[in-house]
């Protein structure tokens, strides 16, 4: 990828810094691959990179239903049934971290997702799809309001300080302060144990909080307070619970949804956020969080998205961006097609 010496435009042609464009005013960016359909309602993707054989990398995606699943797709969008997890009760969001150290010489790759109707999170190893959680880990247990115990969003954070792994979990509804819970994940005797380390994060009360994304290298977490804006906090617990900033609210038609972080060298890169009702995506600077532009990827009502900058095959030579599409499928794009460097 060639994203060096970027010159970011201050004004976009239809002034999206003030209001979202109409989709038909933006150039269409078509997907390279459209996946096979899930049974019910796709929601959120996560990408696992096979570093030994990148062309065998896997895209996982939630199917949000009482008869739900985590689907596994190959890079041609075909369902890998042997890697698909079925029999789930409304899985919502999913995330992956690779290289989680379980001892001084062994690391594994971890996938975590929320299972809303069972009020728990699930944790599996990838690609062997082995459950590490003894059937599930309850979350928000100390909240006396049953409506505040329904998990929705999740993102993993691998600390660059000491390689500690955390799960940051959001919910369908919650209090105005302490909306997110952060759990430390430890591997003990062939399974994981989690410990609540803090509660943090403001909530406007306007809609809900679903999308959460962590920038491991910079140690910050972003989450979408829908119809309000994107909130930013420190991901490292000892850095405190004070909100760093809120941005982007005026650039969305209504719901700001899925978040994907394109992490380039140093602080360079982009934050891509679904502008759901406009059926577009808003792009922000990873460094300053300033709005850059709006793009049309031709998806419908996108909830979740994910991205990797690692080359995978001849189709995804510069990396892979995945977006949920509201037709029971996901769209795959070579990262360069998004035109982020323009």
Q: What is the DSSP letter of 296?
A: B
Spatial distance between the Cα atoms of 108 and 129, rounded to a whole number of angstroms: 11
Query: Measured between alpha carbons, how far is 157 from 184 in angstroms, rounded to an integer?
Result: 9
Note the pLDDT tens digit of each residue in 216-259.
Answer: 999 999 999 999 999 999 999 999 999 999 999 999 999 999 99
- How high is the pLDDT of residue 112? 98
pLDDT at 111 over 50: yes
pLDDT, tens only, 281-326: 999 999 999 999 999 999 999 999 999 999 999 999 999 999 999 9
State how far the alpha carbon of 333 is from the alpha carbons of 36, 130, 175, 206, 307, in Å.
15, 29, 37, 32, 9
Domains and CATH numbers, the chain: 23-338 (2.120.10.30)
**pLDDT tens per residue, range 92-103:** 999 999 999 999
What is the Cβ-side half-sphere exposure of residue 74, based on CA atoms within 13 angstroms?
A: 10
Half-sphere exposure of 46 (CA within 13 A, CB side): 28
Tell me the C-alpha distance between 14 and 140, whole Å: 43
- Cis previous bond, 127, omega within 30: yes
Q: Could you identify the residue written with the tokens 């060639």? A: 2
The whole-angstrom separation of Cα 197 and Cα 75 is: 37
pTM of structure: 0.93
Alpha-carbon distance of 224 to 191, in angstroms, equals 31
């Amino acid at each position: 990828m060639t994203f060096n010496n970027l010159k970011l435009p201050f004004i976009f042609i239809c002034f999206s810094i003030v209001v979202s464009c109409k989709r038909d005013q933006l150039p269409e960016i078509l997907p390279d691959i459209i996946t096979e359909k899930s049974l019910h309602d796709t929601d959120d993707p996560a990408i696992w990179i096979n570093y030994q054989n990148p062309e065998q990398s896997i895209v996982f995606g939630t199917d949000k239903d009482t008869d739900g699943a985590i689907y596994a797709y190959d890079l041609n969008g075909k369902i890998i049934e042997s890697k698909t997890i079925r029999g789930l009760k409304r899985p919502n969001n999913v995330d992956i971290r690779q290289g989680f150290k379980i001892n001084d010489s062994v690391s594994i790759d971890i996938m975590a997702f929320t299972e809303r109707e069972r009020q728990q999170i699930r944790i599996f190893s990838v690609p062997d799809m082995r459950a590490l959680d003894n059937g599930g880990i309850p979350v928000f247990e100390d909240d006396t309001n049953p409506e505040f115990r329904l998990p929705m969003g999740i993102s993993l954070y691998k600390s660059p300080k000491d390689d500690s792994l955390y799960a940051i979990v959001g919910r369908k509804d919650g209090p105005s302060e302490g909306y997110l819970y952060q759990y430390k994940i430890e591997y003990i005797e062939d399974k994981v144990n989690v410990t609540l380390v803090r509660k943090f994060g403001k909530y406007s009360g306007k809609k809900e909080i679903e999308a959460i994304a962590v920038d491991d290298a910079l140690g910050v977490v972003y989450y979408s307070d829908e119809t309000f804006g994107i909130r930013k906090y420190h991901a490292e617990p000892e850095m405190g619970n004070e909100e760093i900033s809120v941005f982007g609210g005026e650039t969305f038609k209504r719901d700001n949804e899925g978040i994907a972080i394109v992490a380039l060298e140093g602080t360079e890169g982009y934050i891509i956020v679904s502008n759901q009702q406009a059926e577009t995506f808003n792009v922000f600077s990873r460094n300053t969080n300033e709005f850059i532009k709006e793009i049309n990827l031709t998806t419908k009502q996108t909830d979740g998205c994910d991205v990797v900058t690692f080359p995978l095959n001849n189709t995804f030579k510069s990396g892979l961006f995945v977006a949920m599409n509201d037709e029971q499928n996901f769209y795959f794009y070579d990262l360069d097609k998004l035109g982020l460097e323009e």
